[in-house]
Amino acid sequence: MLGFVIIVAFEMLGVGLHRLGVPLPGSVLGLILFTLALLLGLIRLEWVERSSLLLVRHMTLLFIPLMAGLATMTAELRKNGVALLASLVASLLAVLLTTGSLAHFLLRDEEIAEINREADLLP
Amino acid sequence: MIRPTLHLFTHPALYILLTLAVYALSLRLHRRWAWIHPLLSASVALIFLLWVLHIPYASYNTGGGVFTTLLGPATVALGVPMYKQGIKLKATLPRLSLVVFAGSAVGMVTAGGVASLCGASHRMVMSALPKSVTTPIAIEVSRSLHGDPAITAAMVLLTGLLGSVIGPGILRLVRIPHDHAVGAAVGASSHAIGTASLFRSSEVRGSVSSLAMALAGIFTSVLAMLLNLYWRARGAGHPW
């Protein structure tokens, strides 16, 4: 429970800072401050680990009400449908391929190190 | 949209229960048939139930909205995988950041570019820009760019769903099978929905993906902030 208190406190801190005029979204500010607090040792990992993994693992659940809400805005979506769908698919493919191929070249040695580590563990 | 229907189901707790039940069932379905995305089956089932029981979305949302509210804290909670993976992947972190930054920039340019080429209004173009990042971040970015947060949310959800269904397959098709590359690409393009589905199959992919989606969220907000500052600096405010 302490974990949830800490996480919600950082969310509120982020939202508060955003309201005071910091031009980044509140939850992003919360995320940055929370990660910094972990890195600086202000918060111990074991205080927040269980609560946050619970939230992260079941993030799919948190999207269900929003998805159901899409059924109420079919008219708006249809009006701009073609442009938005084209933009969605093109941008999705572009991000997948740019990130994937760049990571393929830049992160390759990390991958090999990992495979070697796993190979070492084999009998 | 809202029909004046008499119904017994009015307590928010019941809608929370309904959402949880639909989610539990969809997870069970997913365990049986792995290709059915739990988010898709759960939302289709929920839309169907609301329609059959004549429950207006607005009254469902008195309970269901609780989960939407939790998306903010869930974003903050990403700090834990970010911290754990950041320490484990310390050596790759600068490279991963570069990769994700490139992905985020390309994503915003293509999303806005294609939408405007297809004749979408300026407001719709702005709504499309943050579509690759997780909902609570995307909604705020959309609002700051004077887009329509509801349209943005719709695009975010559909992108995440589509990316998590076809993403790994497309990467396999172009011969990018490495866990780190798949994690980075799916995290940067399909945010939390993609990350959650990677976690169900591979710990490494899921971890890299959660780091990538958090980085993408930060980079996209920073890029949107710079765009806003640029417009403000030109003194014209927003160009409409």
Q: What's the complex ipTM?
A: 0.82
Residue B7 has pLDDT above 80, yes or no: no
Domain boundaries in chain B? 12-69, 76-233
Residue A39 sits at the vertex; the CA angle it makes with A33 and A44, to the nearest 5 degrees, is 95
Locate the chain B residue with the closest alpha carbon to A102. Answer: B99
- Identify the pLDDT of residue B9: 56
Which residues lie closer than 8 Å to A27 by C-beta, 6 or more apart? A11, A14, A15, B71, B72, B75, B76, B136, B137, B140
Whether B61 has its CB under 8 Å from any CB of chain A: the answer is yes
- Identify the pLDDT of residue B109: 94
Tokens 């030109």 belong to B234
Radius of gyration of chain A (CA): 21
pLDDT single digits (tens) B176-199: 888 888 999 999 999 888 888 887
Tokens 């293509």 belong to B110
List the structure tokens of B207.
Answer: 């971890």
Cβ contacts below 8 Å, chain A against chain B, sum to 317
Locate the chain A residue with the closest alpha carbon to B205. Answer: A111
Tell which B residues from 36 to 55 touch A, by Cβ distance under 8 Å: 38-39, 42-43, 46-47, 50-51
- Identify the pLDDT of residue B105: 95
8 Å CB contact of A83 and B102: no
Taking a C-beta distance cutoff of 8 angstroms, is the pair B20, B70 a contact? no
Residue B101 has pLDDT above 90, yes or no: yes
Q: Which residues of chain A have pLDDT under 50?
A: 122-123
DSSP SS3 for A112: helix
Cβ neighbours around B15 below 10 Å, total:
24
Mean pLDDT score of chain B: 86
- Identify the pLDDT of residue A123: 43
In chain A, the DSSP E strands lie at none
- Quote the CA–CA distance of A9 and A32 in Å, as a whole number: 13
pLDDT single digits (tens) B201-218: 787 888 888 889 889 999
Whether B100 has its CB under 8 Å from any CB of chain A: the answer is yes
Interface-testing mutation among A32, A51, A61, with chain B (most B C-beta atoms within 10 A): A61
- Pick A76's closest partner by Cβ from B144, B151, B179: B151
Instruction: Spell out a b/e string for A81-108, using b for 16 or more CB atoms within 10 Å of the CB, else e.
Output: eebbbbbbbbbbbbbbbbbbbbbbebbe
Cβ neighbours around B93 below 10 Å, total:
15
Q: What is the per-residue DSSP string for B131-148?
A: TTS-HHHHHHHHHHTT--
The conformation of residue B120, written as its DSSP 8-state character, comes to -
Taking a C-beta distance cutoff of 8 angstroms, is the pair B19, A69 a contact? no
8 Å CB contact of A102 and B98: yes
The conformation of residue A72, written as its DSSP 8-state character, comes to G
Locate the chain B residue with the closest alpha carbon to A62. Answer: B67
pLDDT single digits (tens) B55-92: 899 999 999 999 989 988 998 998 888 888 888 777 78
Tell which B residues from 128 to 157 touch A, by Cβ distance under 8 Å: 128, 131-132, 135-137, 140-141, 144, 150-151, 153-155, 157
Give the dihedral sign, CA B89/B92/B94/B96: negative
Domain boundaries in chain A? 1-57, 64-123
* Type of residue numbered B209: S
Locate the chain B residue with the closest alpha carbon to A106. Answer: B95
List the structure tokens of B107.
Answer: 């994503």
